[in-house]
Structure 1
């Protein structure tokens, strides 16, 4: 049976598209710059079997408008743009592609750590302006303590490189207990125990009701004076006005941010005006290798489910739907 797959983006990495086309699927794409309303319009007018969701919102109205919809797969791991509650109410599983972009995100995390510690962006700007400014207050990371909040596939990759740099690595992840999955990393049983130790704090957590605004003024103040904050997770987990104040006051040495509370970054952003902030436009997973991994993972998720070969249940964010539909989650 030929399935209709709707990709809420203008394209999909060739390897993922090839998987769908080889299976005889009809693949629909959105035009560049499409809105949530346009997504709903397509879903209301087409007999769509599966959605591969990129960054455009997949609303409750869009999900309800498509009675033929059977499965959704996120092209990535974060699902704040998908109304998971609406999908669950409709009996539709929502899958993600864990690990597909972990290496690329970990590498950008390390890049931001190094760039902020050694003032790379600021020094580059000085040279381009014709000034031979040799700043003497860059930070050496070796010998300092790295704190990782969230210790999944990205955090573990970051930890291994940080250990090789000579950093002392500490981590907190409420989902982990027992020995650390990475030798040499100290696991803590609370965030409050970790923060005072973190000369560099790197965030690797999802956005949800518990993590939104988690790093407010009070928690940022628990970091050692002159610490660095790196965020390649979700911008909304940090209280940005509190972060700006900590950076202005010198309580924080610098921040490296791939994600912001509002994206794209609005004109006149206070973050963009600070010389001790390095910003990248949410490109942690935007390498050819990561895009291919997410595309092939999403394609396998939807085809596996539609063909009766259930994908790995651990990649389903609403597994109660699988139980309700008598799908195995063992």
Structure 2
């Protein structure tokens, strides 16, 4: 009996989420409040790690995680996970992007309202025994809201802002004008957004491009009296520059739920009269906590029980509906990669994949990963997986590209692979036949139909009588039984090629013997 899957939960997760993990037969340990060094010290035996925003999954933690296969983030942001380090080690990182979207969007709207009417300041004044009617605010109706990031949360904020009769403009280089128009958002450049917006709310991820996005240069371009809301990630706003912009009167006020360091060190900044601050409560509702806990628990269970990857940030994700359709193509892609690596020989430098006909409509990124995995497996062994395949390819100097064409190849749904090794180019095509069989349809200029399975001997020869008989005789004398023999040629009297599937792989001496048969040009063994 195999050992149970071991899961470490290092941040608070709802009881319902824990129950799902335990009901799947997993061994679940809960250890909350671990610092990175402490997490690294205990992570080794665990297959899965479930976190929220508190745990810091550093490179040190990943490198100490000898058995780790998946990190599940209950929530959206994964900037507390060293995703590149996880990818290098073949660890899937997944999140729950939709679980707290409504909650975060509502918090942003609440912060904007509190900021516009100075509600926290007025409340604090009354609680101190005062009755001050000097807290003058501004209406939201008719004001222009600039949204940086029109993803799931940004779109929900836009919808709610339009209900408040605000004019909504947005910046997001990854959304089409047509999609933005459906949201009722006018897409503009970042500088135009700065110059027009009365309120600016941030709903983008934290990366090298967005770190410090709102800094002194950005504030200098903004309309005087602008108000800033940030419920995304603290480091997107430069807090020192924001404080100075407030003092200069450029920014009338700011509402922040997230900070460069949490909890913040600079309490003088937090105590500014113009600042509304909450301690990272964007996802803190009962509904959101339950939603992300249930979501990540189900995803982790699906990952270990069915091999289903959902909402992964470092590997293509497939929905449960896509998996039955795509799985045969993943197997085909992996076998094509493994086949071409052995058929070509030599160190690969360039891999080009073409999806033709119906295959072009599939999630091709996932299939490309499968081809790369198969290719590298022939060179580095089983240490390569769907997660680290792209990283390993880059580290070995292999460039990978893919194209899609609705035009059909030799069949209605074809995957073509071209591999460059040194000065040699090798081209193959494959397809999925009924029953999910992965078939080789073409090798260079030779058309054929060979099942991609088991041990296969490839040989090219001059199209002369007697070659097939000599090859079969040599294999028989050496105790190698032929399962299938696929012979093809381009033209009579030219070159011919055969793919011989055998029941057991012949010894190197047998391959050498085959290569010495008269009119045989080249022999290679491919093991799938």
The residue aligned with 2:35 is 35
The question of whether the paired residues in 2 share the 8 Å contact of 1:244 and 1:270 is answered with: no
CA distance in 2, matches of 1:115, 1:271: 18
Q: Is the partner of 1:64 in helix, strand or coil?
A: helix
The residue aligned with 1:177 is 176
Q: Match for 1:6 among 5, 8, 29?
A: 8
The residue aligned with 1:318 is 314
The residue aligned with 1:279 is 277
1:326 Cα offset (Å): 4.9
Q: 1:13 to 1:136 in 2, by over 3 A?
A: closer
CA distance in 2, matches of 1:305, 1:51: 12
1:307 Cα offset (Å): 1.9
Task: Note the alpha carbon deviations across 1:25-80, whole angstroms, 9 max, x for none.
Answer: 1111113x321111111113xx2111112221112122121221111111211111
The residue aligned with 2:55 is 56
The residue aligned with 1:125 is 124
Q: Is the partner of 1:104 in helix, strand or coil?
A: helix
CA distance in 2, matches of 1:134, 1:52: 49
1:136 Cα offset (Å): 5.7
For 1:279-298, what aligned pairs fall within 5 Å after superposition? Answer: 279-298=277-296
Bigger share in strand: 2
The question of whether the paired residues in 1 share the 8 Å contact of 2:315 and 2:386 is answered with: no
CA distance in 2, matches of 1:184, 1:58: 39
The question of whether the paired residues in 2 share the 8 Å contact of 1:231 and 1:257 is answered with: yes
The question of whether the paired residues in 2 share the 8 Å contact of 1:105 and 1:285 is answered with: yes
CA distance in 2, matches of 1:234, 1:124: 27
The question of whether the paired residues in 1 share the 8 Å contact of 2:117 and 2:135 is answered with: no
* Structure 1 unaligned blocks of 5 or more: none
CA distance in 1, matches of 2:198, 2:304: 48
1:273 Cα offset (Å): 2.2
The residue aligned with 2:21 is 20
Q: 1:181 to 1:287 in 2, by over 3 A?
A: farther
Give TM-score scaled by structure 2 length.
0.58
Q: 1:310 to 1:227 in 2, by over 3 A?
A: same
The question of whether the paired residues in 1 share the 8 Å contact of 2:158 and 2:183 is answered with: no
Task: Note the alpha carbon deviations across 1:245-283, whole angstroms, 9 max, x for none.
Answer: 1112221111000001111122x4232221010000001
CA distance in 2, matches of 1:174, 1:303: 35
